[in-house]
Structure 1
Amino acid sequence: MSELNIRKAIDKISQGEIRIPAFQRGFIWDENLVAHLMDSIYKQYPFGSIILWRTKEQLKTERALGNFRLPDIDPDYPIDYVLDGQQRLTSIFGVFQTDIEPDVPTEWNKIYFDMQADESMQESYFFALYDDQADPQRYFPIGAFFDTVRYRNATKNLESREAELIDKVQERFKEATIPVQSIETDDRAKVAIVFERVNRLGIELDVFQLLSAWTWSEDFDLRTKFDELAEELEPFGFGAVGEDTNLLLRCSAGIVSGNPAPEAIMGLNGAIVRENFEKIVNGIRGAIDFVRNNIGVEKLNNLPYPTLLIPLSYFFAVEGERQVAVNDDQRKSLLKWFWRSCFSRRFSAGVFTNLRRDLEEVKNLKIHGNSELSEIPCTVDSEFFSETSFSIRSVNTKTFILMLAQLDPMSFVSGNRVNLKEVLKEYNRNEFHHLYPQKFLKHLGFSPRHINRLANFAFMSRADNRKLGGDRPSIYRQWIPSNYQEIMKASAVPERALFADDYEEFIEKRSEMLAEIAHNLRDNGMVRL
């Protein structure tokens, strides 16, 4: 096994020597996973090796590396295709490289080091932040580490203590190496076998496999139990919960010990988990029922944070066939906590600290009927909607979509209510479109960042969007039914601003409307129209 330092990896990718084969699934990590990887590199934790396939013959079809289109390579040079480790390589390249502009603007690669973070082996020092969230006196952009000019500019105003700290952090990344396993062959059949085995069997022994091997008895197979739960939840759109062993283990540890952190999971006693497994499953079922019935969540992917299910599972965990009765005050508290956690991006940092606190407050709410669960800081203003880009996988966009779902939106063409159950189960970009069409705004000279603001999106099917076309709103208004006022209200759209064809005024007015709705959810747990 060889090693590759980060600088060399960036250079090889920039020069097109390392590439992504078409049979890979593409880049799927979000900004929080990218930040977590940076924390692991800095703390010198193992973060896995990559597997490269070296060949002299370039494939006819390839994938971009995330949003970065790689340059062609000299045909006389060998090519290294990534068989395993694409997410890690793409994250490292996207954060640190400065030579290639992404095809689509990205947010996940803006990672900052918290210079004021308390020393911790568990909590992360690295966070994904928007530029306006990053106080330069506290957060340092690690993307400058391998760019001399940018690094000099970013450090010139730091106090000596912070400057010394950042120099040490930079040095840690310069010294970091990526373990590399290589297979050199032009035999495609051999490569197919390697790739299939990597993806079917996995390379590393994860926590779930360790727990299964160490603690569970022969007459209680945890994998089988989780598979059965996945089958049970699949018809309701939540089969992915039963397949997410990491989430299930955290729910189990949270319910059994009140602590979902890795050390608590590794300390789980097999006999106790077996004894409480019915209670664990009931808690997970109750948590899913709650988010489905009260928030309209139709699948795991709708949730801004799957982590939200952990405290909810604790609240609904109960023995036997009984159910936890929820009174109005408890429901309101749970809903306020849900929305405040989403709008404040509560589980993007300090995850386990926040979870332990929330589990303790959920316990108080469940036993005593009241707690400080929902009393967490949350500020949400119009800039949340006017300055955030729409990205279907991001926390802010998922929160925005669930918020719009609370209004019971209507079709802009038929006037009928949107079938939210179907739309949210499908959950893809085709169900959300611009209110001010891209074509119209591009003609006016607006950049993609300004076009793709949250405030410019609504529930709108591909068919509706095609019908309305790429014209300005005052023109496509003719296709909207006579009950347009009701339609606009159900999507939180200021009708006068929309049809005035003044994009900036529209963004301002709609962002204000959306912020008011967000305040309702934050303060009351529901929308009060």
Structure 2
Amino acid sequence: MDSLSIRELIDQVSRGQIRIPAFQRGFVWDAERVAYLMDSIYKKYPFGSLMFWRTKEQLKFDRDLGPFKLPEPKEDYPVDYVLDGQQRVTSIFGVFQTTIEQSDTSDWTDIYFDLTAEPTVQDSQFIALAPGDVQPGKHFPLKTLFDTTAYRAATQGLPDDIIKRIDEMQAVFKETKIPVQISKTEDKTTVAIIFERVNRQGVELDTLQLLSAWTWSEEFQLQDQFEELAEELAPFGFADVGGDTDLLLRCCSAILTGDASPKALMDLNGANVREKFDTVTNGVKYGVDYLRSHYSVQTLHNLPFTTLLVPIAVFFAVSGNREASYTGDQARIIDKWFWRSAFSKRYSSGVLRNLKTDIEQMAALRDGKQSSLGDFTFNIDEDFFKANSFGMGNVNTKTFLLMLAKQGPVSFISGNKINLETTLKAANRSEFHHMMPRDFLKKTKQDVYDDNILANICFLSRADNRKLGGQAPSKYRTMMPEDISDILQSAVTTENLFSDDYQTFVNERATALTKIAEHLCAKP
């Protein structure tokens, strides 16, 4: 592993040789965190290594280093792009450099060594201060440490013991070596994989943000296109699609190449993307409309996996002003695939492999060719509804709620249809409640069973739940209409609910829910 002194890092950044690629998110640390980094360096605590990608080819677009605009690099030098450690590089450079002016909108705060702070293990001896808060003789400016003239002026007139302490502090920073891992390659695929593995947070295609930057960047203004699409979808509750860059890039790559992998996106031609971008936006818009009309999906958050939008967008991708259409047979196959993918948690692992298969088969279905879309095996039984707990953020709950929505749920008290658009768009716990109330189960000592399982949950507004309270089902039955057949059918239950026997009710409802799931998945 290589290393850089702080002086070397400052010099290389000042010359434009160390740069921030456009796919990085920008500088986000606040001044206090920068001060703590300085304290860690001073106390010789581990503060991590940097990772650079060294290349002879400068990217067409890159990012400023926080509030500092970097000069162009020399042509005969390689460029080191920061793959990991941008916040630390920007912090160190910003604290000590004295040659590059900050941007007019910068809120950078200088860091000072607090000469009165106790040298404890935990508390920081460095502090971020606005110019008006600096007390000479108490706060020593770190930005002078690598500028001989400024350092001499800052220490002038101070007592010898204070100067000695400052000199010792300066020596620590001058002697510090920053470990650096350098990847020397001109192969962008390799860089993509490195960046993905360093920055991965559970989403395999984080790399697509990197690829979008060097495939189109500002030349195509892809983000502007996404924002326009978000504005069009906002009235339907799907404005968040425009903010999910990874998802839209997957849709773009899948529609134009039949593959959503990083390599496929990297191989895209910018002109081709611009020329056919209306096909991409049509695919997404018609796909969203299908999700809303067929599965009551009101927001991106309702989808068990947002990735489900990608193959559906491929099916509906048409150019220009053409209107997307589908046959009854095509809809049945898409529906089978959708429900099987949701219940089997198809995109929880092997995402790229499964996505590529589904994209290919969805395109074949769209083009009237033989398609095996959704022809994969999985198991669904009563345990899905009895072993899985209700939680708005988990995949199984989202699948379960869309399945219940398919039954056309109605109010337990009025018998009126529940407004699914409002209820699902809110995507919160208040519109779903226990059919066998927790208080009742506790009073009757039936709380030995898990009361929060899916089989005990139904659509029930907060207002209805307040009226029904924590009473036994046999008690709240008196507040319901005389004819409750539609209510029971939409809630997938029977009069057995009012027997007040939790275990019998759960077993019966789980069996009924399983039959519906099997039907939706077209299980034989």
TM-score by length of 2: 0.61
- 2:244 pairs with 1:268: no
**Partner Cα distance (1:416, 1:243) in 2:** 35
Query: Structure 1, residues 387-414: CA drift from partner, whole Å, max 9, x if none?
Result: 1100111110000000000110110111
SS at match of 1:458: strand
Displacement, 1:268?
2.8
Flag the 1:510–1:448 CA change in 2: closer, same or farther, 3 A.
same
1:501 paired residue number: 500
Flag the 1:504–1:179 CA change in 2: closer, same or farther, 3 A.
farther
The alignment covers a number of residue pairs equal to 345
Q: Is residue 409–residue 491 contact of structure 2 (8 Å, CA) maintained in 1?
A: yes
- 2:458 pairs with 1:458: yes
Instruction: Tell me the amino acid that sits aligned with residue 464 of structure 1.
Output: D
2:484 paired residue number: 484
Q: Is residue 217–residue 270 contact of structure 1 (8 Å, CA) maintained in 2?
A: no
2:514 paired residue number: 515
**Partner Cα distance (2:479, 2:451) in 1:** 22
Q: Is residue 220–residue 270 contact of structure 2 (8 Å, CA) maintained in 1?
A: no
Identity within the alignment, %: 45
Gaps of 5+ in 1: 1-45, 56-177, 191-202
**Partner Cα distance (1:251, 1:465) in 2:** 41
Q: Aligned runs of 1:17-56 on 2, under 5 Å?
A: none
2:341 paired residue number: 341
**Partner Cα distance (1:395, 1:185) in 2:** 47
SS at match of 1:520: helix
Query: Structure 1, residues 84-136: CA drift from partner, whole Å, max 9, x if none?
Result: xxxxxxxxxxxxxxxxxxxxxxxxxxxxxxxxxxxxxxxxxxxxxxxxxxxxx
**Partner Cα distance (1:524, 1:299) in 2:** 28
Instruction: Tell me the amino acid that sits aligned with residue 420 of structure 2.
Output: L
**Partner Cα distance (2:270, 2:199) in 1:** 22
Q: Is residue 473–residue 498 contact of structure 2 (8 Å, CA) maintained in 1?
A: yes
- 2:403 pairs with 1:416: no
Flag the 1:465–1:324 CA change in 2: closer, same or farther, 3 A.
same
SS at match of 2:475: helix
Instruction: Tell me the amino acid that sits aligned with residue 246 of structure 1.
Output: D
Flag the 1:321–1:185 CA change in 2: closer, same or farther, 3 A.
farther
- 2:355 pairs with 1:352: no
Displacement, 1:473?
0.8
Gaps of 5+ in 2: 1-23, 34-84, 92-110, 112-123, 131-197, 201-205
Query: Structure 1, residues 317-358: CA drift from partner, whole Å, max 9, x if none?
Result: 111111232011100000000000011111111111111111
Flag the 1:359–1:213 CA change in 2: closer, same or farther, 3 A.
closer
Q: Is residue 207–residue 266 contact of structure 1 (8 Å, CA) maintained in 2?
A: no
1:285 paired residue number: 285
Q: Is residue 52–residue 180 contact of structure 1 (8 Å, CA) maintained in 2?
A: no
**Partner Cα distance (2:231, 2:211) in 1:** 22
Instruction: Tell me the amino acid that sits aligned with residue 267 of structure 2.
Output: G
Displacement, 1:218?
5.0
**Partner Cα distance (2:335, 2:209) in 1:** 35
Instruction: Tell me the amino acid that sits aligned with residue 480 of structure 1.
Output: M
Q: Is residue 330–residue 369 contact of structure 1 (8 Å, CA) maintained in 2?
A: no
- 2:311 pairs with 1:318: no
**Partner Cα distance (2:210, 2:318) in 1:** 27
Displacement, 1:212?
4.7
Instruction: Tell me the amino acid that sits aligned with residue 411 of structure 2.
Output: S
**Partner Cα distance (1:414, 1:249) in 2:** 45
2:468 paired residue number: 468
1:407 paired residue number: 407
**Partner Cα distance (1:384, 1:447) in 2:** 20
Flag the 1:179–1:411 CA change in 2: closer, same or farther, 3 A.
same
TM-score by length of 1: 0.60
Displacement, 1:506?
0.5
Instruction: Tell me the amino acid that sits aligned with residue 251 of structure 2.
Output: C
Displacement, 1:219?
5.2
Q: Is residue 255–residue 317 contact of structure 2 (8 Å, CA) maintained in 1?
A: yes
SS at match of 2:458: strand
